[in-house]
Amino acid sequence: EISECLVGSEMCIRDSFLAVSAAFGGAVWAASMLAGTDAYGGQVYVPVSMRVLVLSFALCYAAVSLVFRRIGKRAEREILPLVVTLGGKSVALRALRDTGNGLSDPVSGRSAAVAELEALRPLLPGLAPGVTDPAALCEALAALPYLAGRISLLPYSALGTGHGLIAALRPDSAEVSGRREDILIGLSPAPLSGDGDYDAII
C-alpha cells in the first residue's frame, strides 16, 4: 500500500510538472504572438524578449496557483453522506465534517448536525414556506402532528455571527456513511455552502 501511495504521488507530481510546463509554454507563445512573429527559411521564428518572458511567467504562475489553491481547498474538505429518515421517508444529504461543530442540546446532551431547511422539505409535509425566524419555525414545526415532542430550540455561537438560536428536530434515524448516529438535526433557512458542495454540517 505504501509503494502504491508513493507511485501515485510521483505520478501526481509528474502530471503537475507537465501541466505547469505546458501552461508556461502556452503563455510564452501567446505573449510572443501578440508581440509579432518573423519568418526565416520558411519557418516561424518567435522572438522572446526578457520582458515577455517575465510577464508570461508571472501570469502563468498566478493562474496555476489559483487553480491549485482551489483544488487544495476542495481536497481538504471531508464530505460524507448523511441520510435522515422521518415518518418513513428519507433524504440523502452531503455533509461537511466540521471538527469544530459543538452544537448540542443543553438538556439531553445530544449532539446536533445542521442541514439546510430546503433539503429537508420532503420530510416536512405541511410546513408553510417562508418561515425563517427560529422561534416561528420551531412553533410551526411543533404544530405538525408527526413532530409532536420532537422539536427544540438550540443555542449556538459562531465566529462572525455571534450567538443565536436554531430550530432542531429529532429524526427517526440519521446515518453518516452508513453508520447510525443518535443526533438532532438543526434547520438552517439559509444555504450552508457558497458553492453548493454540501447541504449539511456534522
With a pLDDT cut of 90, the percent of the chain lying above it is 50
pLDDT at 3: 40
pLDDT at 67 over 70: no
- Report CA 202 to chain centroid distance, whole Å: 12
With a pLDDT cut of 70, the percent of the chain lying above it is 60
Helix (H) or strand (E) holding 82: strand 79-86
- Residue 168 burial (CB count, 10 A): 28
pLDDT at 74 over 70: no
Three-state DSSP at 202 gives coil
How distant, in Å, are the alpha carbons of 95, 114, 150, 163 from that of 146?
25, 20, 9, 30
Can you tell me the mean pLDDT for 90-105? Answer: 91
H helices then E strands: how many in the chain?
3, 11
Across 24-38, 93-107, 153-167, the highest mean pLDDT is recorded for 93-107
pLDDT at 8: 46
pLDDT at 124: 96
Confidence of residue 16 (pLDDT cuts 50, 70, 90): low
pLDDT at 22 over 90: no
Amino acid identity for residue 82 in this structure:
L
Give the pTM: 0.63
More confident residue, 158 or 143: 143
How distant, in Å, are the alpha carbons of 35, 69, 82, 126 from that of 10?
37, 20, 34, 55
Who's near 53: CB < 8 A, 6+ residues apart? 28
Can you tell me the mean pLDDT for 69-82? Answer: 69
CA-based torsion, 161, 157, 73, 84: positive or negative:
negative
